[in-house]
Amino acid sequence: MAVTDTERFLNALYENAGDGFIGVSYLRGKGDAPITRWFTKDHVSEMADYAMECGRQYNTCLNINPRASVLDNYHRGLSADVGEVVAFIGDYDILGPAHVQTKLPESREAVLDFLNELPFPPSFIVSSGNGIHAYWLLRQPYRIRDGTGRDYIESLLDGFEAYAIKLAHDNHGWVFDPVADLSRMLRVPGTTNFKTEERPQCEIILESSARYDPLDFEPFALSAKSSTNIDPSDEESDNDFVLMGKGSGRELIDKCPFLQHCRDDAANLSEPMWYAAITNLAMTADGQEVVHEISRPYPKYDYRETQAKYRHAVEEDKPVTCDHIKNVLCFNCGRDCGVKAPISLIRTDKRAGPQEWETPIPFDEYKLPEFPIDALPPPIADYAIALAEHTQTPVDMAGTCGLSVIALGMQGKYEIEAKPGWNEPPNLFELCIMPPSERKSPVENGMLMPVNGYEAEYNARHAAEFEMSQVRKRMLERQQKALEEQVSKGKADMSELERVVRELSEFREKKPLKLYADDITTEKLVSLMGKAEDGPQSSQPRAASSIRWPVFIPKMSTSMFCSKATLAIPYG
């Protein structure tokens, strides 16, 4: 088949697609992860050329539905990654050495006749080499905007596929695998199928102008009750699945005809039936052992593949339901066990009644000790009591703020010796949590009044020293710059430049005293603390923040207040 046929197929498929990403994947060998390259609809020609080139050497597939965002080359994405649906699909195997299942149509013609039995003719029919792929193209891709939209389109895809599979089973006795998940990939027309020694070509055998809307498929939609899996978070199924990882897998098999079939006919079991069994057995205490036990009779059994399926089933925690086994996998056990999934057959606790919960501990019932206001020095205690009375706030808030102010005053003057050789500064970590509009700021400001007064008095008394210090620094910087230029021209001696550089490096600028910074973000705080040294700090960063952080920075120590908390953190 010519490359132009591949390109024509891709153009038809993605004619009205959005800005999603379309993956072309090839598999180097059995067991290898697919390697995927991503394209947009504007690069269909390049995509067709790439698919044809890969298809000459490897099994090459198209990830039918575009992903919402580009993924890396080793991930095709899951259903949750799909951003839009461009077509409904069907994959119908033909009896032959490529398939273990024996209940299949014997020829291509038989499948084509079956497709005529469906209510809608396909837009494309493609021979995959060992089966038939059918595509029902949508007039406009269905954009998936939220979880509700995803559930809706999945119910249509699953429902139409379940209808087709049941029709094939009822009319012909065939058993087709379900493939209608959103992230499904199918072989690219124009590539080679390397699954068997014959290496047949994948080619378009029918093309029509038929296009559809999602509404056309609504009569076939599966209800939420008949979905493939039970969601453990679903309110109805909570009690049904409270015992995950308990019970015996062998006991479960003895109680379930479907699992007995999977065990007894393991050599000929289809992949969907096998995985449906795993999703239920994986929920038992001996699930891992039993899963491998029933899988070994399969001629192509692989320990790593089976273990990966088992792990996926455990992590996903969604056992396939009896309804799906009956209506989609076409296995009717003939019983009405009254359970949603086989695993529930050994969940006896549910039948004994709902599980009793302990009475929750209320969040608003607790006992806290009273703030030990008398433990503070009398001047601080009296001031905290008066401030609390003045602001009509709990004395706890004023007392805690007072501890932060005390921590500020102690920094650099005292150390705590925990044991010989282990000294620490007197760090305090305090938190006063209050709802909005509980007068936190007036209390904080009241406690900071002595600090602000001391700062103002000190800075006024030393204002001339601060200014002369800045003047001296600027003069040294100008001397250094002038000497650098003169030395480079040979007009000055290097020793003079070295003297000025040394003097500038040793110069300590006298800065206005700043014991705390107000309205500061955590990023600014880190920067400010990095500049801190043994002298007073001059900067007062103020930045927009949802939390107000007045921060004490005495020398290399920090004490913090915030509008919802009082927090003293001497940095030490």
pLDDT digits (tens, 9 = 90+) for 350-370: 444 455 667 777 776 667 788
Which pLDDT does position 238 carry in this prediction? 36
- When pLDDT is averaged across residues 505-516 and rounded to a whole number, the result is 84
pTM of the model: 0.48
Residues 6+ apart with CB under 8 A from 538: 511, 512, 514
- CA-to-CA dists, residue 255 to 248, 249, 251, 344, angstroms: 11, 10, 6, 10
Residue 251: alpha-carbon gap to chain centroid: 37
Residues 6+ apart with CB under 8 A from 406: 380
514 vs 146, more confident: 146
* Cα(254)–Cα(329) distance, integer angstroms: 20
Pairing of strands 416-419, 35-39: unpaired
Which pLDDT does position 316 carry in this prediction? 82
Q: Where are the domains of the chain?
A: 3-222, 239-351, 373-462+512-567, 469-506
Residue type, 408: L
Which pLDDT does position 561 carry in this prediction? 38
Nearest in space to 92 (alpha carbons), one of 175, 195, 214: 175
Confidence check: pLDDT of 563 > 80: no
Which pLDDT does position 68 carry in this prediction? 93
Give the lowest-confidence range in 157-161, 215-219, 287-291, 520-524: 520-524
pLDDT digits (tens, 9 = 90+) for 55-108: 999 999 999 999 999 998 888 888 889 999 999 999 999 998 888 888 899 999
Give the lowest-confidence range in 171-180, 220-229, 381-390: 220-229
pLDDT digits (tens, 9 = 90+) for 21-59: 999 999 887 667 789 999 999 999 999 999 999 999 999
Helix ranges (H only) for 96-222 are: 108-115, 147-172
- CA-to-CA dists, residue 34 to 54, 61, 63, 566, angstroms: 12, 9, 11, 56
% of the chain surpassing 70 pLDDT = 82
In this structure, are residues 425 and 554 in contact, taking their beta carbons and an 8 Å threshold?
no
pLDDT digits (tens, 9 = 90+) for 234-260: 433 333 333 345 678 889 999 999 999
CATH code that applies to domain 3-222: 3.30.70.1790
Which pLDDT does position 518 carry in this prediction? 66
* Cα(519)–Cα(545) distance, integer angstroms: 7
Nearest in space to 289 (alpha carbons), one of 322, 253, 240: 253
CB atoms under 10 Å from CB of 538, counted, come to 15
Which pLDDT does position 538 carry in this prediction? 33
Residues 6+ apart with CB under 8 A from 537: 511, 513, 514, 517, 528, 531, 553
Nearest in space to 64 (alpha carbons), one of 165, 7, 137: 137
Confidence check: pLDDT of 549 > 50: no
Give the lowest-confidence range in 53-57, 393-397, 401-405: 401-405
Which pLDDT does position 133 carry in this prediction? 95
- When pLDDT is averaged across residues 137-147 and rounded to a whole number, the result is 93
229 vs 35, more confident: 35
* Cα(314)–Cα(42) distance, integer angstroms: 40
* Cα(227)–Cα(294) distance, integer angstroms: 25
Helix (H) or strand (E) holding 278: helix 271-281
Which pLDDT does position 2 carry in this prediction? 52
